[in-house]
Homo-oligomer: A and B are copies of this chain.
Amino acid sequence: MTYKAPIDDQLFVLREVLELENYSNLDGFADAPIDVVEQILKEGAKFAEDVLAPLNGVGDKEGCVWSKDHTVTTPKGFKEAYTQMVESGFPALSSKVEYGGQGLPSIINAPYSEASSSANMAFGMYPGLTHGNYSAILEGGTDEQKDLYLPKLATGEWAGTMNLTEPHCGTDLGLLRTKAVPHGDGTYRITGQKIWISGGEHDMAENIIHLVLARIEGAPEGVKGISLFIVPKFMPTKDGGVGPRNEGAKCVGLEEKMGIHGNATCFMSYEDATGFLIGKENEGLKIMFVMMNEARLHVGLQGLSQAEAAYQAAVEFAKDRLQGRSLTGPKNPDGPADPIIVHPDVRRMLMDSKATVEGCRALLYYGILQADLERHHPDEAMRQKAGDLLGLLTPVIKAYLTDRGFAIASEGMQVHGGSGFTEHFPASQYLRDSRIAMIYEGTNGIQALDLVGRKLASKGGRAVMAYFAELDAFAAENEADEALKPFIECLQKAKGRLQDATTWLMQNGLANPDNAGAASHDYLHLFALSALAYLWAKTAKAAQAKVAARDPNPFYKNKLITARHFIERIAPEGSAHLAKLKSGSANLMSLPAEAF
């Protein structure tokens, strides 16, 4: 099994669906015309395929090893790959020029990020979280902090982590106990236990910068008394070098997990570790959320990445494995049997996977583009609109892409039959690795609550109204086009269901918040289906234009077939979600706890 980055599809999304060239007047975009993007993307693909992919199975089998001296050894080859990655400059693509980055839009980085995560999800987490750490310090740090940390974090020379969870508190950060005591010299002494810290300790970077949530002595209880601290593994010297060990910050063990064995999931112990306050006292969550929102998009990307990798493995198996004959007569008459890709039920699984992967890619990239537009668009109204849209799409992308990522990884295993359950094929690793993405950075249930409880209601529903308007405008603009008719109808139907669900929520969720909670999962999926219907309609429009112009590349005709598969076999799930949502919470909540 050899992973190949899906360059053609990635470029198609950037160039023809999102029409990146329309944004060349924006900051950063001008530096990456599409031919440069293509070049970057191909180099990134090569690195993912040649360096990271061969280490994926190694990472799974070897895992990370903790030693009593509190060091962690990553699997064989990881350290060298990490060094190559830093030298390649990929991590710094979208970092600011003044901090050693290349200042390109995030969207340019998305295909490389996706490919590296497909090739090796456990490895990709290290630079992924480091970039989130970079963004948080960029957002909340002092100039001095930025000058000191950002250039090293941008390149990946230093790695970064986020420390939120404690044994008794994950989702509910108000229960957080880690404490910070002012030391009198502007620094704090941090003491507490943090668990599930991805990349909390390893041997790949010369320093690790922990961002740690803690409560300053005397701070209010609950979420209002939480501050954020920079706790470096080694104290930085003024010139950006590495000073003495921050003795109080150490990894005291690794979590034994079902997957992502190549990533060190650390128990971190802080005992009077030196920390530097970032941002204001008691306002740490605000900055952490910058990192978290970026991380949520990255986790959505992980879902997509594992679906793509699992799909590729399933396709390879389905073309190789000879078993049975096609129902409509032999397709490989000279062989002992036909390849199983001829069987309609195998096709069903592969087409579901293909349509999911391609639709989710377009949706993810569209979301990341909003982040760029929010940052770089010259028009404030456009920045606001992009920010609103990003707010809605972040939980949708995180939850839907990871739900589907795991489902497609499982479908990929199913295509393999018994072989898939053995560890000789990669299907098991994709299934095991992909599962965590539904959980971390806020479980998918929390994403759904964020969407329904916070994002929808925010500013009088401004964001969702703008979203509906965008979908309506696209439909109105294209509904006269006969060739696009099924795609526009699918969009209108999916949007209609979401609107119906939104109305139901407004009528029932305010009076009884349990109705909102009970509806949240199905609402998020209805939202995702509407967004996918929109992006498939845009995709079909781009592909149809090429087909109409008799473009000889079969890619476009095939894209229309895949788009139609979405209409026929994915979009119909909306009907079930809507019916479930409308059943409300009355019966759902009525069993006494002891009856479970």
Interface residues of A (CB under 8 A from B): 165, 168-172, 174-175, 195-196, 255-259, 315, 318-319, 322-324, 327-328, 336-337, 339, 341, 343-351, 354, 406, 410, 413-414, 417-418, 420-424, 428, 431-432, 435-436, 438-440, 443-445, 448-449, 512-518, 520-521, 554, 558, 561-562, 564-565, 568-569, 572-576, 579-580, 583, 585, 587-593, 595-596
Contact = CB atoms under 8 A, between A and B. Distances in A.
A165 B422 CA distance: 14
A438 B414 CA distance: 8
A172 B323 contact: yes
Given A169-B323, A319-B593, A421-B258, A344 B585 contact: yes
A257 B423 contact: yes
A423 B256 contact: yes
Query: Which of A351, A421, A512, A558: most chain B Cβ within 10 A?
Result: A421
A410 B406 contact: yes
Contact of A517 (B255, B327, B449): B327
Given A327-B516, A328-B512, A588 B417 contact: no
Contact of A572 (B339, B351, B575): B575
A16 B157 CA distance: 68
A533 to B, nearest CB: 14
Contact of A256 (B413, B424, B575, B576): B424
A149 to B, nearest CB: 27
B171 A258 contact: no
A346 B445 contact: yes
B414 A443 contact: yes
A518 B568 CA distance: 12
B345 A517 contact: yes
A345 B518 contact: yes
B439 A418 contact: yes
A418 B327 contact: no
B596 A568 contact: no
Contact of A345 (B344, B520, B558): B520
A596 B413 contact: no
Contacts of A406: 410
Given A175-B337, A315-B596, A558-B592, 6 more contacts: A172-B322, A174-B337, A350-B596, A558-B595, A561-B590, A568-B588
Contacts of A421: 257-259, 435-436, 439
